Structure 1
């Protein structure tokens, strides 16, 4: 019986020795692309290209769970016949990352978070403040799947969903409903 117990302890010790040790604190910067789905006043949904930048801090208390604080800037562009619709969203959010699968080269898992941000929309790239059509603050929830490669590169597929609609500042009866479908890359220092 003692040999069996020593064998099990030996296997557990070897498995723990082979686990990757994550740095406790990591700062990251990254880029985002994807598309935005939105509608105004119950019209059909429109899609537009988006790009963005992000930066933040990630705390790794364990191998499987990480907490991160992040700031995102997202801009969507939709060219039309005579104008280009431009919508910007800047938010700060807190996420929990759960990497439940680990191998020697990468880890895979999910993330979920909540945040708060500012939305602004205009009909052209060079709109003055009086031409802005939608402005306002909004809460946001985001979730998705992601993978960390070699402890330094994070790739994610996710969705960012605001809690409510953003009201028009010109016509109070109009509101915009929007969702962001994101693919992002971040380098962790």
Structure 2
């Protein structure tokens, strides 16, 4: 009888490292990494070296928006819908209260701001407020300011927002400053 010798099967692993390296290069080159932009907000300048800024804001110049844990929106203690926020913010900011504002078109209501430069939006929310609602309310506030600034640009410069210069945009921001205070209320 013939005896059969069993040879162990061998795998040539010499090119295995080359293949792994080529796959690594392939995935590095073809993969796209998405960059989340986040919410574009500019922090206020540090005008207070001690960190204790105590500017007094008159009550009529403060629009309080509160989001509770039941996902309800309150503006000055009245429940409102999301689609009402933009018009309420515009009416509050552009009120033309006590001072003469040559570019304001407001109704001069006693409970709304005196001047756009004095108007402050206070956005506070409960710890259990849904993120989507918070961002949606921020978007409505931003839209209100965008509309006011767009109208100002049209009246003052007879241009669109895309056509103005940096110097003109500084004037627009000075006429309608975006002053929003955002605070999360803590639960006891």
Scaled to the shorter chain, the TM-score interval is under 0.3
Structure number with the higher helix fraction is 2
TM-score, normalised by the number of residues in structure 2: 0.26
* Higher normalized strand content (fraction of residues): 1
**Greater CA radius of gyration, 1 or 2?**
2
